[in-house]
Amino acid sequence: MTQPETTVELHARICLNCCLVTVAEDGNWRHSAEALLNFADDACDEPLPGRKARPRDVWFGRAPLVKNDPYMDDTDSVEVTGWQQGDQPVLVGTDCSYRQRRDADRQPYGGPICWGYVATNGAYGFGATFMPRRIGGDPVSNGEMRAVFWAVRRLVPRHRVVLLTDSQDTVELIEEWRTGSTRMPRGYTVQRASERPAKLELLRRNVVKHFELITVRWVRGHTGHPLNEGADALAKFAGLWATKRVSKEAAKADARRTAAAVLQRFPG
């Protein structure tokens, strides 16, 4: 007699290696049929059962890999006159803004880590998060990399991108990843209580997987590159929103106006 489907689902787990749903079969763990149907490319070689799969995970085939930042909006675009997708890469300015609070030891620790990006195809995004202290690392490095994380997640692999950052560390780290290093910013840990992969680990895998689509270039901060300045302004709007000095609606309107102004001055 075959077991009813629900019994299998009750025992489904999330693979610690690849986040796909895994099920036990004859004493061995394998990725579920749904997982292989939807995410064959992401399946690891040796399924390793972690936490129990939720019904939604089972149906989808994979646990959600990425949790949104508590303050973020990165679904909007502005129209860019003259932009054509042809062969040209999308240039993306990314930046971070961080200012430590005076009572930085109280929860949430530090201050919001704020990020922004503006891309020549009209896509832009901004957001902020308070990082749990246990994640570790320098808030500014984390923030610079987080801006890149969200920009790459939005644009790659649909587009070839040239990332423009004013952070030397970011350029160096991504270049290292491209040659096989797995180094993270100093102090940044990759173990998460949620068992989700760390965002920068996901970014690293993306850089390796799509190395031909991603270029990173240093630009001087504060003096000049319009896309970098735009990203900086967006990150600051996120900071005002996260510290409740402006409303979500005001921050979104400011971000949109700024992205449009920047892209008018610097069309693709």
Contact 116, 232 (CB under 8 A): yes
Minimal distance in Å, beta carbon 157 to Zn ion? 21
Q: What is the DSSP string of 105-151?
A: TSSSPS--EEEEEEETTSBEEEEEEPPPGGG-S-HHHHHHHHHHHHH
CB closer to Zn ion, 162 vs 190:
190
How near is the Cβ of 197 to Zn ion at its closest, in Å? Answer: 12
Four-point Cα dihedral 10, 16, 22, 28, nearest 10: -100
Single out the residue of 17, 38, 215, 243 in contact with Zn ion (rule: CB under 5 A): 17
The reply on whether position 18 binds Zn ion by CB under 5 A is yes
Q: How far is CA 42 from the centre of its chain?
A: 17
- Total residues interacting with Zn ion, rule: CB under 5 A: 5
Q: What is the DSSP letter of 25?
A: E
> Measuring CA to CA, how many Å separate 119 from each of 42, 91, 124, 134?
28, 6, 6, 32
Binding of Zn ion at residue 246 (CB under 5 A)? Answer: no
Least distance in Å: CB of 36 to Zn ion? 10
Q: How far is the CB of 56 from Zn ion (least distance, A)?
A: 18
Q: Does 202 bind Zn ion (CB under 5 A)?
A: no
Q: Cβ of residue 31: shortest distance to Zn ion, in angstroms?
A: 6
- C-beta separation of 226 from 195 below 8 A: no
- Could you tell me which stretch among 9-17, 150-158, 180-188, 236-244 binds Zn ion (CB under 5 A)? 9-17
15 binds Zn ion (CB under 5 A): yes
Tell me the per-residue interface mask from 68 to 107 with Zn ion, x by CB under 5 A, - otherwise.
----------------------------------------
Tokens standing for residue 12: 């489904």
User: According to CB under 5 A, which residues from 36 to 55 bind Zn ion?
Assistant: 44, 47
CB of 107 to Zn ion, least distance (A): 34
Which amino acid belongs to residue 192? R
* Burial class of residue 221, CB neighbours in 10 A (0-12, 13-18, 19+): middle
CB-nearest residue to Zn ion? 15
The footprint of Zn ion (CB under 5 A) covers 15, 17-18, 44, 47
